[in-house]
Amino acid sequence: MSLIIVSCTNPNDNSMPAKIENKQVSKVSGYAPVNGIKMYYEIHGEGIPLVLIHGGGSTIQTSFGKILPLFAQYYKVIAVELQAHGHTSDRNGPESFEQDADDVAALLRFLKINKAHILGFSNGGNTALQIAIRHPDLVNKLVPVSTFYKREGMVTGFWAGMQQATLENMPAPLKTYYLEINNDQNGLQNMFNKDRDRMLYFKDWSDDTLRSIKAPTLLINADHDVATNEHAVKMSELIPNAELMILPGTHGSFIGEVCATEEGSIMPEATVVMIKEFLNK
């Protein structure tokens, strides 16, 4: 395990060196028949495949609107929307990280992609971990962002707050983006309920489960994230061939997630540069 701690006095300081090319990239989108649902995906750019998996209650755009175009300068970015999220249909059954992992794996096989880098944010990070656990043959390198594997890994008060969570507590930008795609209040409520229940009924994964991950892994956490840095360190010690990067900010701010983006910040660009260095070495 190696540890990288990045700090800066001003996250909006444009003197930070982070260079991204600016070129036109191709884009296609579609739906794949996956384990009983119609899964929406977008493909941007060319090169080695890089899968992006959004967080709970989110869409491709809300989680990755800032960084997807940057990654697409270098990789064949495959961005997905999971069960009941965004454009993707639902199934008569609960959400789980294991099922999400199987769905993404089935999508990659549908697209005839034999191996890809996998990056997941928040709940998408749990899904990314499960892909590496359940479908190791598909994973080149793994980047779980702001995630956890045991309930004790979340900040104090998280689970008590989840017990009281209602749709009214859901961040407004996430509700707005969902309703722009699906003008269906019942669908929004259904997605919220399934996301909430997936967390409420989450059962700890064993240490040995993380030890089974074979892919080179870069764990990323913010210094004020919903998962504690101590938990991120523990995960990085359990996963063989893992590195850990602690970045300044809050949950999602360093990737420009819609609820945490800071106007004018170059942190998303800097984060992409650092992830690119890991993926390319």
pLDDT digits (tens, 9 = 90+) for 151-202: 999 999 999 999 999 999 999 999 999 999 999 999 999 999 999 999 999 9
Q: What are the tens digits of pLDDT across the range 58-70?
A: 999 999 999 999 9
CATH fold for the domain made of 2-280: Rossmann fold (3.40.50)
Reply yes or no on whether the pLDDT at 17 is more than 70.
no
Measured distance CA(86)–CA(205) in Å, rounded:
28
Q: What integer pLDDT is reported at residue 18 of this predicted model? A: 46
Choice between 220 and 4, residue whose per-residue pLDDT is larger: 220
Alpha-carbon span 50 to 77, nearest angstrom: 5
pLDDT value of residue 7: 44
Of 32, 15, 38, 35, the residue nearest 78 (C-alpha): 32
- Nearest to 126, CA basis, from 228, 208, 66, 210: 210
pLDDT, tens only, 83-132: 999 999 999 999 999 999 999 999 999 999 999 999 999 999 999 999 99
- Domain segments of the chain as ranges: 2-280
Q: CB–CB of 45/28 below 8 Å?
A: no
What is the longest distance spanned by two Cα atoms in the chain? 51
Distance CA 177, CA 173 (A): 6
Percent of the chain past pLDDT 90, that is, above it, reads: 90
Its sign, for the CA torsion 66, 167, 107, 121, is positive
Distance CA 245, CA 92 (A): 38
Residue 148 has pLDDT above 90, yes or no: yes
pTM, rounded to two decimals: 0.93
Helix 185-200 vs helix 123-134: angle between axes, to the nearest 10 degrees? 60
